[in-house]
């Protein structure tokens, strides 16, 4: 689907970029992310307009489906791109997973309830507190430090 | 609840680390496709609670298509044109 034109400003140019300014990357012919998203939008339009589902149900569905794809699925798919970045790819993927989940999330999850006193937003997130956020931040720093020491 | 999460993490973390470090990009893409579909259906179950019934099958299909496209992009060679 990519026509062979220079696409240095698009998502497909993430891999093996040369640091020299002015160099341009060519996608070699496989399908690209914008085309997949375009197919998805076409399908949502068809499902919304040409099915027997009433619009009062179809419009919220047409709102929820792109939100799920863009907020949940699309960021996760970049893990594949990270893993494919040569020798450093798996390390980068482990770093991101360790930062986001290993310490960022679980640091707050376990340290917050143990001694947290200052709530962040009691109305919407009653179990979150400032001590958990601080533990999450420190945990993320520790993961970054560990990757720095490891080389 | 907390200990369930700890037990799940204790089982899954070695598996995920092993897959990422020693597995090929194709295996990572397959495992990620499973995670993406599970996460999407969890998200849609949240939407069901407020009456938003999304197009589950189509969205999951396109999410798998996105994973496939990202895998293709990860394994295909790209070429550089040097600046004039």
pLDDT per residue rounded down to tens, chain A (151 residues)? 444 444 444 444 444 444 444 554 555 445 688 888 999 999 999 988 888 878 887 888 888 889 989 999 999 999 998 898 878 888 888 888 777 766 666 666 666 666 667 776 777 666 677 777 787 788 778 877 877 776 5
Q: Which residues in chain B have Cβ-Cβ distances shorter than 8 Å to A33?
A: 66, 69-70, 73
Contacts of A59 (CB under 8 A, 6+ apart): A48
Residues of chain B with pLDDT under 70: 1-2, 77-84
Distance from the Cα of B67 to chain A's closest Cα (Å) equals: 5
Residue A119 belongs to what H/E stretch?
Answer: strand A119-121
Structure token digits, residue A10? 């698009």
**Cα B67 from Cα B70, distance rounded (Å):** 5
Contacts of B73 (CB under 8 A, 6+ apart): A11, A12, A14, A15, A27, A30, A32, A33, A81, A84
Binary contact (B17, A94; C-beta < 8 A): yes
Q: Which residues in chain A have Cβ-Cβ distances shorter than 8 Å to B5?
A: 109
Are the beta carbons of B54 and A32 closer than 8 angstroms? no
The pLDDT score that the predictor gives to residue A10 is 47
**Cα A45 from Cα A6, distance rounded (Å):** 30
**Cα A107 from Cα B9, distance rounded (Å):** 13
**Cα A9 from Cα A12, distance rounded (Å):** 8
Supply the DSSP string of B2-26, one letter for each residue.
Answer: HHHHHHHHHHHHHHHHHHHHHS-HH
**Cα A141 from Cα A108, distance rounded (Å):** 13
Contacts of A32 (CB under 8 A, 6+ apart): A1, A2, A10, A11, A12, B69, B73
Token match 């093996």: residue? A16
Distance from the Cα of B32 to chain A's closest Cα (Å) equals: 7
């Amino acid at each position: 689907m990519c026509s062979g034109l220079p696409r240095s400003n698009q998502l497909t140019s993430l891999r093996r970029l040369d640091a020299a300014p002015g160099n341009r990357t060519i996608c070699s012919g496989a399908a690209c992310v914008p085309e997949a998203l375009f197919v998805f939008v076409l399908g949502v339009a068809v499902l919304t307009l040409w099915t027997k589902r009433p619009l009062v149900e179809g419009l919220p569905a047409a709102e929820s489906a792109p939100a799920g794809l863009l907020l949940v699925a699309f960021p996760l798919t970049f893990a594949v791109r990270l893993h494919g970045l040569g020798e450093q790819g798996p390390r980068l993927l482990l770093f991101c997973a360790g930062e986001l989940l290993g310490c960022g999330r679980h640091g707050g999850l376990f340290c917050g309830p143990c001694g947290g006193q200052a709530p962040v937003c009691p109305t919407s997130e009653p179990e979150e507190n400032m001590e958990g956020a601080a533990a999450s931040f420190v945990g993320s720093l520790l993961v970054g430090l560990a990757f720095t020491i490891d080389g | 609840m907390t200990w369930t999460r700890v037990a799940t993490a204790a089982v899954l973390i070695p598996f995920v680390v092993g897959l990422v470090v020693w597995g090929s990009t194709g295996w990572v893409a397959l495992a990620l496709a499973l995670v993406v579909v599970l996460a999407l259906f969890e998200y849609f179950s949240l939407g069901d609670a407020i009456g938003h019934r999304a197009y589950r099958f189509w969205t999951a299909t396109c999410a798998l298509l996105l994973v496939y496209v990202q895998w293709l992009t990860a394994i295909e060679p790209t070429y550089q044109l040097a600046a004039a």
